[in-house]
Amino acid sequence: MTPRQIIGKIGLWFSVFVIVSPAILFFLWMASLSLKFEIDNAAYPPVFIPEHVAWKNYADVLASNRFLTYFINSLVVTGSATLLALLVGVPAGYGIARMAAHKSAIVILIARITPGLSYLIPLFLMFQWLGLLGTLVPQIIIHLVVTVPIVIWIMIGYFETTPLELEEAALIDGATRWQVFRHVALPIAKPGIAVAFILAVIFSWNNFVFGIVLAGRETRTLPVAVYNMISFDQLSWGPLAAAALIVTFPVLLLTVFAQRQIVAGLTAGAVKGG
């Protein structure tokens, strides 16, 4: 190695360190907060690695019976909104791609630009008139605002890249359009569906603004529940950080294990957006 190459190597690793450390340090600090007793969390200078580990913070959060309710709420809302979005969005993406109806994508663009709160005002009234407030139905429906555009957008892009020859051959053999979709197009599209599924799950799980307006005491999802913990105990950082970490942990896990799909989905949407 020449001196120039060595300097280059050092520069590269230094850059990598600078770029990645804010993310690493943040999540380590989050974990540290969640594993400390209040004495350590209120200490100055801050304690980074505590002498006594407060597993109790996690036990307390998980043991409260409300937490289980909120966790189930989150599962039901995200699960339903994602499955419904796949049910209508995958065929729609197929249809739009095959008809080359690119103009219809403008609706999805409008959905992307519109602030979430704008949907809440009219839909809030509708839910009130229909007497649905107090159930999980309003949240499931409004989460479709997030999940349906994601699924359609990704599936249009994916079906545009899958080969037409097989589908045409099947049509000539007398298959109906539905059979072609079901037995030829759909199996090939599995990786695309996986990408759409993962992104829809993450953005629905993370959603906060819809729940803060529509959820009552019994119908909170996890992000809303964690937010509401602040006002109750302002200074108990340990349990608060533990709850925050529990809420976001499934997403972080997905990010690490499905990184390839997430990157493909996010950049496909972005690059096609131009």
Partner 1 sequence: MRPPSYWPFVVPALVVVLAIIIFPWVFTIWMSLNEWKVGSSTTFVGFSNYLRLTKDPRFIEAIGHTLVYTALSVLLPLVLGTFAAVVFHQKFPGRGFLRGVFIMPMMATPVAIALVWTMMFHPQLGVLNYLLSLVGIPAQLWVFHPATVIPSLVLVETWQWTPLVMLIVLGGLAAIPSEPYESAQIDGASIWQVFRFITLPLIMPFLFIAGMIRMIDAVKSFDIIFAITQGGPGSASETINIYLYSVAFSYYDLGYGSAIAVVFFLLIVLLAAVMLYARQRMLWTEIASGT
By CB under 8 A, the residues from 78 to 107 that bind partner 1 are: 84, 87-89, 91-92, 94-96, 98-99, 101, 104, 107
In the range 142-171, which residues lie near partner 1 by CB under 8 A? Answer: 142, 144-145, 148, 152, 168, 171
Minimum gap (Å) between residue 213 Cβ and partner 1: 5
Q: For the residues of 68-118, what is the DSSP string, one character each?
A: HHHHHHHHHHHHHHHHHHHHHHHHHHHHHHHHT-GGGHHHHHHHHHS-HHH
Site of tokens 């545009």 = 160
Should residue 271 be labelled a site residue for partner 1 when binding is judged by CB under 8 A? yes
Minimum gap (Å) between residue 19 Cβ and partner 1: 5
Instruction: Specify whether the CB–CB gap between 215 and 221 falls below 8 A.
Output: yes
- Please state, in angstroms and as integers, the Cα–Cα distance from residue 138 to each residue in 34, 46, 48, 120, 132, following that order: 33, 43, 43, 10, 6
User: Which range touches partner 1 (CB under 8 A), out of 13-21, 56-64, 65-73, 130-138?
Assistant: 13-21
Instruction: Specify whether the CB–CB gap between 121 and 214 falls below 8 A.
Output: no
Count of alpha carbons within 13 Å of 192, Cβ hemisphere only? 26
> DSSP label at 182?
I
For residues 41 and 73, which CB has a smaller minimum distance to partner 1 in the complex? Answer: 41
Site of tokens 């997403």 = 251
Should residue 213 be labelled a site residue for partner 1 when binding is judged by CB under 8 A? yes
The tokens for 9 are 């190597």
Minimum gap (Å) between residue 70 Cβ and partner 1: 13
Among 54, 202, 204, 215, binds partner 1 (CB under 8 A): 202
For residues 158 and 205, which CB has a smaller minimum distance to partner 1 in the complex? Answer: 205
Minimum gap (Å) between residue 68 Cβ and partner 1: 18
User: Which range touches partner 1 (CB under 8 A), out of 11-19, 55-63, 129-137, 186-194?
Assistant: 11-19
Minimum gap (Å) between residue 47 Cβ and partner 1: 10
